[in-house]
Structure 1
Amino acid sequence: MRHGKKNNHLGRTASHRAALLSNMASSLILHKRVITTVAKAKALRKYVEPLLTKSKSDTTHSRRTVFSYLQNKESVKELYDAVAGKIANRPGGYTRIIKTGNRLGDNADMCIIELVDYNEDLLSTTGAGTAGKAKTRRRASGKKKDGVEAASETPVASAETATPTTEASAPAAEGEEAPKAE
């Protein structure tokens, strides 16, 4: 019976599993994302998140501890130089698992595991959304204040004056195109 045994063995011996997770963690740190199966990604998350937490304190002891897990000088250097600076203020949850569907050959559940702070596509999308919401909130609260109200009316007025000239030129352009079509 396997009562209370939480780690996934992934069909490997202990040494093979340790080598697999070490190599995958090094690849994740160097390349910022890895495409793998869901089971391996969940095991990798449990393996790499404590290492990322340990990288926040740049001491000789923590470097040696992380190196004993990763066994790769380049990935340890990248972890402490670039990655640790980006995750310094994050309290946890350094990785994200995105399911991508099933693999063609054996129908295994596939996913992408990536470092959260390194997905520029997702960061730019969420960054633009929060910036737009922040601007809306400023305008709503700005209507109560006299100084901000005048500043918020000026861009709106210029946008309104630009709109009628665009609309006025649009029917003229349509009118010119209509006789040519006939």
Structure 2
Amino acid sequence: MKHQKKARKLSRDKDQRKALFRTMLGSLIMHEKIETTEAKAKELKGKIDKIVNKAKKTKDEKRKLAVSRDLRTLIPAMAVKKIIGEFLDKFEKRGSGYIRIIKLAPRKSDGAKKAVIEFV
């Protein structure tokens, strides 16, 4: 049954979705701004909030190592270094809402709704 299952499937099976979001999360963290479809942007927003909140829990060195090891399963290693290094100071006082989605004009070829997703 599909009760309480609200995540978008994006016409992909589970492994393809996981790989897609891993690469998109890595690109978003490294470039701080990407252009994608609106549905993918909305899915990324919740995932990036969880990742940044998890990274903010790194106060001491032991905890930092454990969290970075845990985050490497979700995003590439270079993105983990950047999020623990640069973003923690940037988002220290912010509880959530690290991402902004700006809607763009639809794509001409197939009419897909486009959006830019970026860090605030």
TM-score, shorter chain, exceeding 0.5 = yes
Unaligned runs of 5+ in 1: 117-182
In the TM superposition, what are the counterparts of 1:1-182 in structure 2 within 5 Å? 2-58=2-58, 59-70=64-75, 72-116=76-120
- Report the RMSD for the aligned CA atoms in angstroms: 1.0
The offset of 1:92, in angstroms, is 0.5
Q: TM-score, normalised by structure 2?
A: 0.91
- State the secondary structure of the residue aligned to 1:69: coil
2:61 corresponds to:
none
Paired residues in the alignment total 115
Aligned AA (1:103) = R
> Greater RCO between the two (CA within 8 Å, min separation 6)?
2
Structure whose CA Rg is larger? 1
Cα distance in 2 for partners of 1:13, 1:55 equals 28
More helix by proportion, 1 or 2? 1
Moved over 6 A (4+): none
Identical amino acids, percent of aligned pairs: 35
Unaligned runs of 5+ in 2: 59-63
The offset of 1:83, in angstroms, is 1.2
The offset of 1:55, in angstroms, is 1.1
